[in-house]
Structure formats: structure tokens, C-alpha cells
Amino acid sequence: MSAALVDTNVYLSRWPFRRLPLDEPQALVDKLRQHNVTQAWTGSFDGLLHKDIASVNARLAEDCEKFGKNLLLPFGSINPTLPDWEEDLRRCHEQFKMRGVRLHPNYHGYKLDEPMFEKLLRAATERSLIVQIAVSMEDRRTQSAIMPVLPVDVNPLAKIVEKVPNVRAQLLNALQLVRGAPLLSTLAAGHVLVEIATLEGAGGIQNLLTSVSVEKIAFGSYAPFFNFESALLKMKESELSEAQRNAISTANAKRLLGGK
């Protein structure tokens, strides 16, 4: 059996534009357990387009409990363009006991330099919730012609994070698009991590570590949209010390979850 993993980027429900292998909850849970995933931070594809976010989050919490108790950790969707988003945030925290929320700004039609995002970030931080920001969900080359969605511009994020004490955040599906100064400034601004699902190239993690501290990197598969084994291969093909491997596999995610 492989070493224990905390997967910080997993989704339940159906991708809106096509069926995916393992998009049935039990099949996905079986795959995660097969590879010794001990905890999977889980959002819902329904959070992208559904307007009834309360029902999206209720289903997510129910399915995580039903199919992956003690494995699937639900991260609710929040859409700050909707009038009742504060109530959705309250339910995530108080009713469903979630440890974090997952944002999809490009699908919900707002930018990170808009006041609503900072307000949401502050409100989530006051509740000690992790805020995950999905930078992209699909390669632009494979998007539906009737619904092209640009990636999230993360350039404003560093300054906003600096203004919100004790924020805990993570970029999802970012490393194909966010590199250099924008990535480094965002990670340096506070307790912010990035995960590896969209990292490309041979020895990708090893190369990333030449500029990014290992404490800022977490494991993420983006299953079931991506093949889970592709994330495992990223871990195997890079020359990592045992300490580096443990940090990326589990320790960094656990530290973010614990607020340390």
C-alpha cells in the first residue's frame, strides 16, 4: 500500500458537460481508499451552475457522510453574487460543520478585486474556515463553445490576503496557469497553499521546489475530472526527500486544516 495521502482537491456529483469515470460517489471513494487516501477535501460540481446553493451543500454533506464518512471532508460552495450567501456560509459552518468552503469566481461572475470577495474572505476567516479558490476547472481548448470560461485572475489576491489576519487559503487547479511573481507573491502573503493537480512537465514538483517552499505545496488529484493516478505519478517521478514527500502528501494540508 502507498503512503498515506490527504487529497485537497476532490469533487462529487456530475461535471455539467460530460460524464466522468468515477463520478458515482462509491466508485470514487473506492479509488481513494485503494491508494490510501485518509482524507479528501471534497467540493461539488453542482456548485458551479446551480443557483440553490443551500441544496448543493446539503447534498454534499449528506453524500460525504453516506459514502465516505471519516474520509470525505465536505467543502461547501459559496456564491457571493447571490443575496443569501452569508446564510449559506453560516449553514456550512454551523449546520454542516464544514472545515472550509470552495469558491468558483469565474463561474459565478466576480473578480477577486471586487469588494464582495474580500467581504467573503473576512467572513469565512472569522469562522476559521479554509477558503479554496478554484483558478480553473477545464482547459479552455476543451470547453463548450457556448460557455467559454476564463481562468480566475489571482493577481489581486496577495494584497487582499495581507489585509485579512489569520486567513487560511488554497489555490486549486492553478499551477498550469499561475507561475512566477503572481504565484510567489500570493503564497508569501499569508497562510496560502497550492496543490499539484494541474502541474505539468517531467519532474514537475522537483522543478517547482526551486522557487516555492515545500511548506506551500499540498497533494491534490482533482478526481474524478482527472485520473487519480496522474497525481500519484507526479509524486513518484520527482526526486523528493522523505521529509518533502511527507510534507506534500499529508503534513501541509493537516497544518492548514489545524490553523497552524
List, for residues 98-153, the tens digit of each pLDDT value: 999 999 999 999 999 999 999 999 999 999 999 999 999 998 888 888 889 999 99
Average pLDDT, integer, range 233-239: 93
Q: What are the start-end ranges of the H helices in 3-128?
A: 25-34, 53-68, 85-90, 105-108, 115-126
- Assigned CATH for 5-258: 3.20.20.140
Above 70 in pLDDT, residue 260? no
Domain boundaries, the chain: 5-258
> CA 203, CA 68: separation in Å to the nearest integer?
32
Contact 154, 178 (CB under 8 A): yes
- pLDDT value of position 44: 98
DSSP string, 186-205: HHHTTEEEEESTT--STTHH
Supply the pTM of this predicted model. 0.96
Contact 40, 71 (CB under 8 A): yes
The identity of residue 199, as a single letter, is: L
